[in-house]
Structure 1
């Protein structure tokens, strides 16, 4: 993002600071959005190679996904006091006042470097000591400018260029003899390749035009125009929301897809068994023939033999395997029994195969529909309460006060349900004991004590403490729960929890609350 575009965004703060901040949102791992009262979302997209600074209206969502984002949410608080650009360079400083409370949050300063492939976002003290940052820069990467927590922040090297906001026609005389592209790159602050092309267009020139005295006046007018209106401000709203929705939808879609594929695999295995059963129907005549021959020549079968060779009814020799522990008649019945079993399996296969194929086709259609489903459709599917149904993720219950309650039954369901919950839903887990994640779907509404106890008992009951008395169960808003990077599904950390002590027994209303 070029310097003049950054300057245009920062002009939106003129006369409106200090301003109250209303909290952070993190739509993805490379984007932070600070909601500023009266201004909208201050969006900082800090991952290389295309960083972006913009003010966006509406609501952006997303919990902290990295350690840096969690640190940012915990430390960067209070009123926004300052939004300042270093000259027209791609470096911006935001001062935050901090907050007073039970634990005071000291003032901090955000440093946003929108420098292409070297883009970075840092949080420092007001004096400039680095507290945390997205990407550390070691001496092996840059021996002149190291960026690590604990070090003093050093801005990019200083430079001297014309400030297009104050430059007059006489100041532009130093550009004579250079092409417009060279002049902008070497001598004009805040202009990159795209703005240089826009400057040339407004001046009626090309970037390759060698500047002569007659070009200075139209160039000055174009430059002033570019300062006031550098072009359409880059908006991240549509792109950001689309990417965030794609990520959230995929998080919801993945366990649903796995459940469907598991059922598909089961049905395909059944069809394979049916095909084997039908193929083995060809064995029945031979089995019955062996039984018939044994009964016809019982007197010729020696006792305790493992096999015998007799003539079949066509006069050809027929070798028959025997169980030495059985009599000849019992061996014959054994062959008849095997023939009847194969016939029964084939009959059942013929009955069930069409039904199973229909179920399999329906599942493949469901998978296709799932892949094209939007975030809203996936959320509605998750919240649907039309009976247990196959493939439902987690147990679905009702609390005494009517709130929906979700209970994960394994690590993948725990991960899925916790991801799917509203940020203000309440999350429950037995303290320090492996067990289910339980979500009380309050969506920020106050939950009466009976509902809290209901969810807590479920968390205790669906844990390793089942059957014990006085089990500690922690609960907190889902927004305070996060899965550490590289952690296995269902493994989370959380803050701000309260604790209830309950017996690890199924709530009395459990059998009545199943959706």
Structure 2
């Protein structure tokens, strides 16, 4: 995630086009490290959300309102006192750094025109919102930083505001006049090309340095000394052209996703992510709002599902070990038939044995009368030796029958747990997790407490509409799969499932009509995507009409059987499908 100088530059450009010369109509502080400013101007009302959360600092224009606390925090009260109804006169980014200054003109207590500056520093854990007067004296800040916290700079009322030089002598890339200057700076660093770029220039993140190297066609992780002067000159030219585009405000906000999960964003096209899905947007605020919202959803669900995932993983590992042991024990019973043959041959040919014989050599009529040598216990009679081998046979036979049943049960339990694991992977809300937890409680993986009541959830199957207008439904968990297949779908609807792996039931409502081929392909893609094979390039998918899908007696939720079906090869890509709310 690169909230770098380039994103800040794009944001400043956008703010200058939207809130410059607007008046501050409302100031609220929804969280201890968040500020929500509402502006009114010629273009109407606009909200600006600023977060200086140590793990998630960002700023963007938003349509979303947040509930403010009944008792406004001190910093919020100070801002209301000084700049309520103030006018934004200037928005700028000093030295291409991760800082935005808002110059605000307002009337003081005496009715005279006065100027204040609101400074937003978006620097990871050091992020802050600082309110200063016109001579850079700090009036207040959303986070107070004393000398006990930082030896570089105090951020306290009455102190002078300044930017500490923690980045060394980094250069503002906007001050570079030609590519030769860039070339001389890069070759002077005994580092990899990527590191030489981002450690030399303000506002350039490792992501952007990597992008410049990718556009130049070189391996940026290699040392500067590994390249010729011409190659480095080409890098410098690409970098210079890149900066010129930024100077001319040529931005292209985008989000990079992997399997629909946002992994990166930027204000420029990221050509290095050729194998991922890149979505362009018109506004950097829209990018930031969507990215952090989606990222929050995925990280929050991941955290909330940790306990369930741990329970399932632990049970799965235990059952897999059990299955391995049972399979090994089953293999040991393979010699049971040998003992039965020994017993029969002793009964057939042991009548003329010497009393102290240790072996019986006899033709094996089960194997073309080949001579077989059978060990004997000389201390007992041939009949007792025969009985001894029959007893061993019966014991191994009973073990085989018991193990066969146990292995079948263990295998079913593993498949059930794998299906629950797949459900956790596709969960998108707390309600989805509640249904999964209910299933784990019902099957004894989580202890059921007497006081626990079933919670009504709003979780519903995914609903998509095909390119030809057909409704397609996807179960999020085993209970929803059963509901979709056996209560929602009608006989002529079509049922899809990834072959031989855990996954969702996919139902296409046919409306008693013949489906176009494209609908089968799109439903197959959904079945492939919502399965444990979504990382594969292609997945085999079974499909048939719902009337041919059966639920076996005492089958686990989501478990079905079918005997006649069609198959197709699907690509687990659903980016072109329309998802309904």
Q: TM-score range by the shorter chain?
A: 0.3 to 0.5
TM-score, normalised to structure 1, is 0.43
TM-score, normalised to structure 2, is 0.39
Determine which structure has greater relative contact order: mean sequence separation of CA pairs < 8 Å that are 6+ residues apart, divided by chain length.
Answer: 1
